[in-house]
Amino acid sequence: MKKCVKKLPKDYYEQTSFYENDVMLWQNGKVYVMDNHRDAAWCWLQQCKTEELYNFMHIDQHYDLLDSYYSETLAAIKNNPKMAYDEFASLMRDERGEYRLFSWDNYIRIMHELRPNWFNTNVFVTQGYGGDANSDGWGHEKMRIQETSPLYLLFAIRQNMIEKWSSELRSENENLKWIVNFDLDVFFCHEYDHVKIFSDRFIRKVARLLQEAMDNIQVITIAISPDCLEGKGMKKRWDSGFRVLRIMVEEIEALQEFPFPEDID
């Protein structure tokens, strides 16, 4: 089932995603593409069963583990987990209405509190930026994570989702399906103008492995995060993201009808 939950507008290149702005969200079955990573939480709510157990893999420049929410503001989701996207996107952190509940750097911690059973084995493939699971926060429960470098991303996907190598830490969870949370900025340097630091060949191999692992994946959420990509001006940064996504489209079947800018009516 393919649909544009939020259609890419003609002036997309004039917009930033930043903390809480949502420019686009597209779905084909269990594969989602968005600009703002905060929307991944809504996608998981659509694709994952409330009481089911899952493993979690986060592939990103950043940890996205900021603890910046009030537990009482999660009641709306608990009461209506399949809420419409527009309702999800407009949820506020508190009654003052100053900040959205979900931001591009706190959505994982929120979902961990709501659905701890979705986070059994937690593999984080990051460049180590942003608040991690052990940083001081707002007093919520910390996450137990296994960390590795993007240099070993191919190994991490194959080991965990394809060959399912057992270890003492995850042997009881090795047959659970995976929530795969992917940010294209993992292929770019955090500093020095966000230069692309991984080859097209490497990106293609990552996508090929994800396709190979698809039967063991419950949902894939892919964030473009144009603010964190290479280029002078937002148009160039969006172009950097779409260029990487085009490589992945050639390997991941569910992405092959993604509507790129030239497809906008």
Q: Taking the alpha carbons of 42, 44, 47, 49 in that order, is the dihedral positive or negative?
A: negative
pLDDT band at 142 (very low <50, low <70, confident <90, very high): confident
CATH value at residue 127: 3.40.800
Write the burial class of residue 188 (CB in 10 Å: 0-12 exposed, 13-18 middle, 19+ buried). buried
Residue 265 counted as domain residue: no
Q: Cα(136)–Cα(192) distance, rounded to whole angstroms? A: 28
Residue 190 counted as domain residue: yes
Q: Cα(182)–Cα(202) distance, rounded to whole angstroms? A: 15
pLDDT of residue 240: 97
Token pair for 66: 């900021």
Give percent of the chain with pLDDT exceeding 90.
84
The mean pLDDT value for 155-166 works out to 88
pLDDT of residue 256: 95
Token pair for 203: 């990106």
Q: Tens digits of per-residue pLDDT, 56-113?
A: 999 999 999 999 999 999 999 999 999 999 999 999 998 888 899 999 999 999 999 9
Residue 62 counted as domain residue: yes
Residue 264 counted as domain residue: no
pLDDT band at 165 (very low <50, low <70, confident <90, very high): low
Residue 216 counted as domain residue: yes
pTM summary value: 0.95
How far from chain centre, in Å, is Cα 168?
Answer: 27
Average pLDDT over the chain, rounded to an integer: 93
Residue 141 counted as domain residue: yes
Residue 19 counted as domain residue: yes
DSSP 36: S
pLDDT over 90 at 263, yes or no: no
Domain of 77 in residue numbering reads as 2-259
Q: How many domains does the chain have?
A: 1
Strand intervals (E) in the chain: 2-6, 25-28, 31-34, 55-62, 122-129, 146-148, 178-183, 217-223
Nearest to 76 by CA among 106, 101, 109: 101
Contact at 8 Å (CB) between 161 and 174?
A: no
Residue 127 counted as domain residue: yes
The helix/strand count (H/E) of the chain reads as 7, 8
Nearest to 2 by CA among 199, 202, 263: 263
